[in-house]
């Protein structure tokens, strides 16, 4: 029997969006197990704590039995290897993402030639979606109901507007 085909989908997920969920759902159809890994980066100012982001991700992936949520600090390939994953999932939204993702894939390949990078393109409604834009829209009082779940939108309003 072959070992399960595991992939890691790393990111900050601050906050998780429907674009993230789109990629998680599609990766879950391809791999036996998808580990959604929240990056803990001390040099980056996050709106939500790692625990809050993990909680939100667990809520939105609750109906995907082959998805687990975890966190890590350090090199993604080291985390992937520690979890027995052979692939990293990366999202390519627009052409400007390509250069960055290609550079990351090349560096990861040099660090861990046994771990593949798999790029998925989001579905059309999420091509230009970013967590940064979602936070900016909410900070100005706009609705992001078409970009995040109702619970995540509520959490954004609480954090950014105190509402």
State the DSSP H helix or E strand holding residue 8, giving kind and residue range, or none if neither: strand 6-11
| Active-site residue (options: 6, 20, 90, 155) | 20
Q: d(Cα 89, Cα 121) in Å, to the nearest integer?
A: 10
Q: Is 154 a catalytic residue?
A: no
Contact predicate 5/32, CB 8 Å: yes
| Active-site residue (options: 46, 53, 90, 131) | 131
3-class SS of residue 147: coil
Q: Which residues pair with 38 in a beta bridge?
A: 11, 71
Q: Is 20 a catalytic residue?
A: yes
| Active-site residue (options: 43, 44, 96, 110) | 44
Question: Which CA distances in Å does 20 have to 31, 36, 41, 106?
Answer: 16, 10, 19, 23
| Active-site residue (options: 26, 40, 93, 135) | 93
Contact predicate 145/12, CB 8 Å: no
Which residues are catalytically annotated? 20, 44, 93, 131
């Amino acid at each position: 029997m072959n070992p399960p085909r595991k992939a890691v989908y790393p990111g900050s997920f601050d906050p998780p969006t429907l674009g993230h969920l789109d990629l998680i759902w599609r990766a879950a159809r391809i791999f036996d197990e998808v580990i959604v890994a929240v990056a803990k980066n001390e040099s980056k100012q996050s709106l939500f704590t790692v625990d809050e982001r993990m909680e939100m991700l667990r809520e939105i992936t609750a109906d995907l039995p082959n998805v687990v949520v975890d966190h890590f600090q350090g090199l993604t390939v080291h985390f992937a290897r520690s979890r027995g994953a052979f692939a990293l999932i990366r999202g390519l939204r627009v052409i400007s993402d390509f250069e960055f993702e290609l550079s990351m894939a090349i560096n990861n390949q040099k660090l861990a030639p046994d771990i593949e990078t798999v790029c998925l393109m989001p579905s059309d409604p999420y091509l230009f979606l970013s967590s940064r834009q979602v936070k900016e829209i909410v900070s100005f009082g706009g609705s992001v109901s078409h970009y995040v779940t109702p619970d995540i939108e509520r959490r954004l309003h609480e954090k950014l507007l105190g509402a």
